Structure formats: C-alpha cells, structure tokens
Structure 1
Amino acid sequence: MEIKSNKINGANAEIEATILRDEVDANIEKIAKELAKTASVQGFRKGKVPVAVVKKQYGEKLVEDAEAEALREVLSKGLDELGISNDSLIGEPTISKFDKSDDKIEVAVKVAMRPQIDLGDIKSLVPDFTKPEVTDEEVDARIKEIAEGQAPLVDIKRNRKMKEGDVAVIDFEGFIDGEAFEGGKGENFELTLGSGQFIPGFEEQLIGVKRDEEVTLPVSFPENYGAEALAGKAAEFKVKVNQIKVKDEVVVDDELAKKLLQGDEEASLEKLKAEVKKAIEQEKLAKLYNEELKPKLLETLVEKIDFDLPEFVVEQEIDMAVNKKASQMSEDEIKELRENPEKLKELRETFRDDAIQSVKATFIIDALAQDMGVKVEEQEVMQTIYYEAMQMGQDPQKAYDQYKDAGYLPAIQMSMVEDRVLSTLLNEKIEA
C-alpha cells in the first residue's frame, strides 16, 4: 500500500493511496474466515462452514467490506503520518477519488480538522462606547406611565365629546353590502381610542362622538387583513356609545411606590425612581448592544482573526443557502439548475463569501466560549423557548417539541452562547 499524505492547511488535509488487489484479497480471506465461525448456511453446522462457501454466499458484500477495511487502514496510516488525532477531526472523511482497476484501487480521502485559532488580544477589538444615560425627566415619564397603567377606569361625569385616549364602551355591528358578516358584532366592548386595535379609520371616526350617540362608520378592511373573505372590502359599522371611561388620576408618591415595590419594607418614591432608572438603563444598554455593538463586534472579530476553515463546513453552509433559495424558486428555475451544472455552480458561488463569514463567526464564538468558560445548558434553552411561547400565548411544551423535532435546538443554543459571549466582552469594556 502506497500512501501520500498532504496537509493542505491548518484545517484541511488529503490522503492519497494505491491499494493493491492482493491487499483487498487478503482482507476478503480474513473477513471470510471470521464470518465462517458464525455464519448460518443451510447444510452446514454453525462454525463449520467452509471459507469457499462463505465467499460464494456473501460474494459482493465481502468485497465491499474488504475495500472498506482497506480504506480505514489508509485513513489510519495517513493520519499517523500527518500527526492528526481522531479527536481533532470534524465530520466524516470524504472520499474524493475511488478508481478501481483489475490490479489496484486509486483513492483520495479528504479530512477536516478543528481549526487552531489564535484569539490574541480580544479586548483590543471591542469597540469603545459610552454607557447610555438616563435623565430625571425620563424616569418621571416612565413612573407616570406605570401609574396610569395602574389607574382604574372611571366613567366621566359630564357627557363631553370623546378624544384620543378615552375608553369607549360600545355596541357595534358590521355590514358589507348591507349584509351583516360573521365576527363583526360586539356588545359593551371597551375600546381605547388611538390604540389601533380596530381597523384603520374606525377609532378616528369615534373622536368627537358623545355618550348615547349612534353613528355609522364607513371603513375599508386592509388588503392584507387576516380574514380572506373581508380583505380589501368596504364596510359600514353601526356603533352606539354606551359609556365613556377615562383613567382615574393616580398620585405619584410613597404610597404608589409601596404598591409597586411590594414586599420592600423600605419602599419610597426615591427608591422607586432608582429602580426605574436602573431598568431604563438596562433597556437602553440592551438596545445599544443588540442594534449596534454586537453586530459591529462580531464583524470586527471575523475581519481581524484569521485562520483556516474546514472546506466541507463552508460547503455545508452553502448547501443550506442554496436549498433556502431553491424553496423560493419556480419549478422551471429548479429544472434549469438540475440540467445546467455550470449555472448551479455560479449560484453556489454567490453564497460563498457569506458562508465563509458565517462559518468563521461560529468557530470564533466557539473558541471564545471555551476560553471564557461560557456555557448554555439545554435546560436554559428549554426555559427560553417556554418563556417566549408563553409571551405569545402558545403552548410551551408544544413549541419546544416543534423546535426539537425540526432540529433547531443546537442553533438556538449556539445563538444564546453567541449572545452571552458578546455581552460579556461588552460588559467588561464598561467595567474597564
């Protein structure tokens, strides 16, 4: 067996070999002898089956197993020559050449290794930024907003015209071409004017209407309305205003603070302001991180940290991009790609740069996570999915099972690791 090993770069290697026919035959003989000890062949006692009979019975399968054994030997010897351990391999070796002739087999096997990444001085790559400030006016406005949210609704005493922000308690019924339609009727419905809860034009036309008045409101359902039978249709709503409610006034004082900071025996307005200020700071910081700093930091890391990438991982990323693109293509377009290899190749190349950036980012985040000791356990992934599902009114367990069955959990976990790594680097910049 002749073996020639070539380390292409820090993440890819190729092993070429010539497997002689005699070596394959020797493997066939060895496998057949082992199989003869356990094979069940009619007319022979178990363990007493002649090797010649085994060869005849299992013919092509023996050849395949013998060739596979020779390939394993090629891989093992090639990795030894290259000084590559099995632990450092990524994915399965790829057979790029397998040419059989009467007396030999010419093979080439490509292998990929986990890249060695020199992270260097990561902190120098983290962008400078200023922690967002929160003004007293913002704190007061937020507390007022919270107070108004806590305030009960009360009927107005005098019958004035309604304005934006009022809560109209209404009976309504909708008609299209004079016919009432399903789902278009309600009684004593509380509608906050200006909330955008109803279709465009409905709430605006109630402004200026008084209690006990009955009005007819002409409106049009949006073209993209959820109910297909109503989308784009002109309609009229007959509306009667039963009550007009407003938020009762709430005094912003220590008593409100005690109500909002339940369980805190030292609750006060000043303490409430401090807590609200801290919350607004976190909101602003999260917005700054997510919309500006994290994308910028990841882009810088990918640009500045250079290392070799496993070819097959990049190709897999391109495969996913092509498949996603194909799902949006017509049958004729897909047929053209199948019949024109050059066109498919051109399409694949359009995704290569993005694929390289994405794969680089994944390896960098993985290396940083290991270096920083950042982990996200499966339980945390489950809790995140549960929380988001509950926020959207979905069944948490069903949502989790759907993600799991679709194979999305590793991607979600990796996304959470990335978020934690980048947040940690940015937080350290603040503390420094």
Structure 2
Amino acid sequence: MPRFTKCSTFAAHFIDVKLDIEMNITKEQINELNAVVKVAVTKDDYQDKVETILKDYRKKADIPGFRKGQVPMGLIKKQYGKAVLVEEVNKLIQDNLNKYLTEEKLDVLGNPLPKQRDNFNWDAEDFEFEFELGLAPSFEVDLKSKKAITQYKIVADDKMINEQVERIQKQYGTLTNKTEVTKKDEVVGVFKNEEEEIENKATLEISTLKSKKATDALVGAKVGDVITISTKGLFGEDQELAAALGIQADKAEKLAVDVSFTIEEINEREPAKLDQELFDKLFGKDVVTSEDGLKTKIKEDSEQQFTQQADQKLLNDITENFIDTTKFELPADFLKKWIQVTGEKVLTDDEATTEYEKSEKGLRYQLIEGKIITENNLQVQFDELKEFSKGFIKTQMAQFGQLNPAEEELDNIAARVLSNQDEVKRLSEQLMSQKLLTLYKEKANLKTKEVTYENFVKEVYG
C-alpha cells in the first residue's frame, strides 16, 4: 500500500540542489487541491552539457574501422545523441522542478505526475513539459475535542496478584512422582487419534480441565493406563486444546472427537515456599524481602505493563477522533492516478480506486499528525534517540538476567543499533509517538477511568 507524504519526496530529497541554469517554470492553479506546472526547456539549457558528454563518449568510443578517439562526431551523435539528450533534459527537469517546489513552499502529496503527450518530438530544439500536482489541503486541528476521550488506568486487584503469586509458587515448586491420579496432579501422556492424525505428548493439570467426564475418567488412573477422552469441552479455550493435541487453532475450534490418552507419568507439584531464596531468584538479592513486598512488586510490575496497553488504547482513540472530527478534502483523482503508476505494476482504474480507499484513512492521519508535530515543534534529536534506544536495550537485557549493564556496553550496543537506518526509522517513529502521547495527555479533553485488567479487556475487546 502506498505511503503518502505531505512534502514532496522530490522536493525533500533535493532541498540543497544548487543550479546554474534557471529554467522557465510556471504554475496554473486548477483549484485549491490541484495545479499544473509547466517546465520550458530551451536548447541553451542543455546544449553545453550534451556536447560535453558526447565529446567524452568520442574519446572512449571503440568502434571497428576507427582508431580510438577518432570516431567522427556525426556517428557518435547518431548512435548516442538522442539517449544523452533525453537523459540530460530529464535531469534538468527533475532538478529545476524540485528547486521550484522547495522555493515556492508547495506542500504536495505524492510526486508530480508528468502529463502524457502523444507524438512528443525529441527532434525539436525546445521542449515544454507539464506536471500535475496534488496539493495538501489547509485545515485546523483542535487538540481538545468536545467529547471527552476515556483514559484508562488499569489496576492490579487482589485477585490478580494472588493468582500471580500462586503461579510463581507452582512454576518454582517441586514435583513428587505418584502412582495414581488425583485432582491435584499433573499427568504427562500421549494423545492419539489416527483418523485425525493426532499424536502428541502433553502435560495435563487435572484441576484446569473443564470436562467433568474427562476429570472423572482420569482420577484414579495409573501409569500405563489408556483413557478415552472427548475433545469437546475438554478445555476452556481452543488454544489450550490445540496445544495439548499439537494441532492448529482453527482445527481445534471445531474438533469434537474421542482421543486416547496414554498415561506416562503422574506428578504432584508442591508449591515453592515464599522465602528469601525464591525472592532473590525472582528479582535479585534483597530487592524483595517479604510476601507483602512480593505482592507490592507484582502490583507495580503489572501496572507498569498495563500502562503501555492503556496508552496504546488512548493513542488509538485520539487518532480515530482526529480522523472523524478533522474535516478536509483531498485531491482524490490525482492520488488515484499517482497510486496507479507508482507501484511495482501499473494498476487498473478500479484497482487504483480500491487502493486509494484503503489508504485514505491513513493519509488523513498522516496529514493531521504532521500538522500537530509542526505546530507544536515536536522533534526527535539524536541524543534523545540514543537514550531511547538504550532504554529498549536495558529492557531486553533484563529479560535475560542482565539487570545492571555497564554504560559503556549500552553505548556500544546503541551505536550498532543506530547504524541501521531501518532501526533508526522504527525507533524514531516510536519516540515521536511517545512525544505525541505526552502532548495529548497535557492538552486533550480526557476523562480517567480506573478499571481492573479483566474489565479493561471486556470493555475494549468485548
């Protein structure tokens, strides 16, 4: 899908071009959103450059029947003259048009489109070319909407914290081998169904099964027993069934068959003690020193993660609000033409219209966002970007247990990351989104709503 830019990519790329030749360029304003630029090229504009290139060709030409450097100029012009003329005229047009767009401060969308002319005569001495321009619209952005936008504050309630404590105790607990299944046990076994091509080793926690019939069949069973279980209603979520059977989620969604489960191992998991050894293993030495401290740490870490989700929701909602409430017209016909000819292949009219309709919403927000950034002087400085990247690096290193990396190490890794232009672009966009979010929190019409994570998911995702 094409990405539009408010400032012409032509103009943005050639801002610093210095030209000795001043060509005749005029603009005809069709309406507020469309214009035609005419570029007149005379023989004086290109002749010296073309002659110089052809002379250089003559010096290097190696043509049978002539000594090197002695090929008649007439033959050189016959073989190469037209191609050199076309290339040099196109260079002149591009350079001068870019300069014109920059000096006239024209905000164009996409790039200038050359108007097609039948029977164009390259044998003439003077030429005139016409380019269609799609102009960016004028509009105002009101950061403070009439209707307040909800800013969620997600809190970790006691239920969530206690469940997380239980998960930690279970994860770091010890296993005791048993001979007979009870409702507290974990059972390792192999699921099979030849017709459905299912054969997968999995671990079942008996207490998490949703099927009473399956639970009753497993309780009391021993190692080596083969239990027949129905997949229907076995778990609460399709992805749990998919993981247990080793199948795709879409297949698990509709699967209702009997499978055999051959028991290989029965274990009871004894929860880990909430002691200093566990706290140090989880968070580092003496960071947490009590069960209350553990719950406080879980609450802080959870709510920090929730903040990222709430911020993304707020950014999405504000974006949608801007698109809905900021009204302006676009040069739609021009943009469809531009889409039609700028991709890997030329599109049909219908294909270009479809692509435009898919792109229009994104284009509108690009224009709105660009105006907000300009009017509020939001910029990404290199030092800021470097610190921002170091923050990401520290987070990633912490996931692998490196909690206190040396500053020199961070600087070296950041330098390598920022040498990659794709990474620079990605990080710059993320940092700018952060700056925009900070601006919106200061100036937008927001109302804060405190919710648990469970209720946030229900409200946002249904």
* TM-score normalised over the length of structure 1: 0.61
1:70-129 deviations in whole A, cap 9, x for unaligned?
53475267448x5349xx888764323456247553411246799999877689999463
Q: Which moved more, 1:26-35 or 1:280-289?
A: 26-35
- Does residue 1:360 correspond to 2:360, yes or no? no
Deviations 1:204-224 (A, max 9, x none): 564433335724315469899
2:169 aligned residue? 147
Question: Which string of whole-angstrom CA distances, capped at 9 and with x for unpartnered residues, describes residues 30-84 of structure 1?
Answer: 44664367442542553x655434322323213313532553475267448x534
Q: How many residues align structurally?
A: 381
Structure 1 position 130, deviation (Å): 5.5
C-alpha change, 1:211 and 1:427, in structure 2 (3 Å) is farther
Cα distance change of structure 1 residues 152 and 64 upon mapping to structure 2, 3 Å threshold? same
Task: Determine which structure has greater relative contact order: mean sequence separation of CA pairs < 8 Å that are 6+ residues apart, divided by chain length.
Answer: 2
**Are 1:98 and 1:105, in contact at CA under 8 Å, matched by a contact in 2?**
no
Does the residue aligned with 2:268 lie in a helix, a strand or coil? strand
Query: Is 1:288 equivalent to 2:284 in the alignment?
Result: no
Give the counterpart of 1:193 among 187, 203, 206.
Answer: 206
Residue 227 of structure 2 corresponds to 216
**Is 1:184 matched up with 2:184?**
no
Q: Provide structure 1 residue ranges, at least 5 long, that are not aligned to the other structure.
A: 327-336, 392-406
- Amino acid of the residue matched to residue 149 of structure 1? Q
Q: In structure 1, give the amino acid aligned to 2:315.
A: K
SS in structure 1 opposite 2:77?
A: helix
Question: Contact between 2:319 and 2:365, CA under 8 Å: does it hold in 1?
Answer: no
Going from structure 1 to structure 2, the CA distance change for 1:74 and 1:227 (only over 3 Å counts) comes to closer
Deviation at 1:247, TM superposition (A): 2.8
- The answer on whether the counterparts of 2:36 and 2:132 sit within 8 Å (CA) in structure 1 is yes
Displacement of 1:226:
4.3
Contact 2:230 2:257 in 1 (8 A): yes
Residue 154 of structure 1 aligns to a residue whose secondary structure is strand
Corresponding position: 1:276 with 2:283: no
* Counterpart residue number, 1:396: none
> Structure 2: any 5+ residue segments left out of the alignment?
1-22, 232-240, 401-420, 449-462
Q: Which of residues 233, 237, 260 is equivalent to 1:237?
A: 260
1:240-293 per-residue CA deviation (whole Å, 9 max, x = no partner) reads: 4653x3332455466754554431267233332321221222233233223x31
Counterpart pick for 2:192 among 142, 154, 174: 174
AA matched with 1:225: I
- Secondary structure (helix, strand or coil) at the match of 2:315 reads helix
Assess, with a 3 A threshold, how the Cα gap between structure 1 residues 256 and 68 changes in structure 2: closer, same or farther.
Answer: closer
1:378 CA drift (Å): 12
Counterpart AA for 1:216: I
CA separation of 1:173/1:59 partners in 2, compared to 1, >3 Å: closer, same or farther?
closer
- The corresponding residue for 1:330 is none
Matches within 5 A, 1:88-103: 93-98=112-117, 100-101=120-121
**Matches of 1:425 and 1:77 in 2, distance apart?**
34
With over 3 angstroms needed to count, the CA separation of the structure-2 counterparts of 1:218 and 1:365, relative to structure 1, is: farther
1:416 maps to what in 2?
430
The whole-number CA distance in structure 2 between the counterparts of 1:312 and 1:379 is: 41
- Partner Cα distance (1:214, 1:128) in 2: 55
The change in CA–CA distance for 1:356 and 1:211 in structure 2 (over 3 A counts) is: same
Counting aligned pairs with the same residue, the percent is 15
Residues 214 and 230 of structure 2 are in contact (CA less than 8 Å); yes or no, is this contact kept in structure 1? no
Aligned in 2, Cα 1:201/1:135: closer, same or farther, shift over 3 Å? closer
Tell me by how many angstroms 1:371 deviates: 0.8
Hey, what does 1:403 align to over in structure 2?
none
User: 3-state DSSP class of the match of 1:371?
Assistant: coil
The whole-number CA distance in structure 2 between the counterparts of 1:342 and 1:293 is 37
1:192 is displaced (CA, Å) by 2.2
> How far 1:16 moved relative to its partner?
0.9
TM-score (norm 2): 0.58
